[in-house]
Structure 1
Amino acid sequence: MSRQAAERQGRHGEAAAAWWLRLQGWRIVGRRVKTGRGEVDLVARRGRTLTFVEVKTRGTQEALDLAIDEQRLRRVVDAAHALLPRYGKGAEEVRIDVILLRPWRLPVHLRNVWHG
């Protein structure tokens, strides 16, 4: 897959994940938020819960199984720490979530994946 096609697939996946979260009652407060430490695909809030969301879109389950690992997750965690002053006011629970997407399947929402 070309870099442009992968970028397009990623943007479509992030848009689908944002809609999925909205249907679950979340409000999207940030998209593709970059820091010096990394990027967070989505920042969402529901009540006093704030979540930093990594979105992975792949064509097969096998590819999704390899899409997220500790190193990739660590970049999201580092970026979330940098973004907490901007988005965390009033949050009682802050977590890292992952949403996995593949064609013709409902999104898989992995909640609170980082316990470090």
Structure 2
Amino acid sequence: MTGAAPKRVRAERQGRKGEAAAAMYLRAKGWRILAERVRNPAGEIDLVARRGSMVIFVEVKWRARADDLNLAIDARRLARVCAAAEVEAHKYLREGDDMRIDVLLLAPGRLPRHLANAGQF
């Protein structure tokens, strides 16, 4: 096994922990988690959540250092989440619902930073 494989495994494991922490945070804020790790050919959505008539498609980014969070999300990544959300939206939306793309940024020892309406459809 090469050095890259264990690093990728660690990153995957840490990403899953970050997504679990993000789900807990959203639940504490009154959101109901509808789905986790939704994948389709257009991209991946880490979390789908609902509160009232709002459905959010969430990109979660975890970094070991809080300073690295400022560079964790970019336009390309947001575009992939938006594209994936467009494909999946019909599964989660009811008539009259609104939807948006949110980003949750997490780092050890810091409260999550929730960027609401971070992406555009």
Same fold (TM over 0.5): yes
The size of the alignment, in residue pairs, is 116
Question: Alignment identity in percent?
Answer: 53
| In 2: Cα distance, 1:91 partner to 1:26 partner | 18
Question: How far apart, in 1, do the equivalents of 2:44 and 2:19 lie?
Answer: 13
* Residue in structure 1 matching 2:56, options 51, 58, 70: 51
2:110 pairs with 1:110 = no
Specify every segment of 5 or more residues in structure 2 that has no aligned partner in the other structure, as ranges.
Answer: 1-5
Q: Are 2:81 and 1:76 aligned?
A: yes
Q: State how 1:1-116 maps to structure 2 within 5 Å.
A: 2-116=7-121
Q: Where does the alignment leave 5 or more consecutive residues of structure 1 unmatched?
A: none
Identify which range, 13-22 or 86-95, moves more after superposition. 86-95
Of the two, which has the highest radius of gyration? 2
Q: Report the 3-state secondary structure (helix = DSSP H, G, I; strand = E; otherwise coil) of the residue aligned with 1:103.
A: coil
TM-score, with normalisation over the residues of structure 2?
0.91
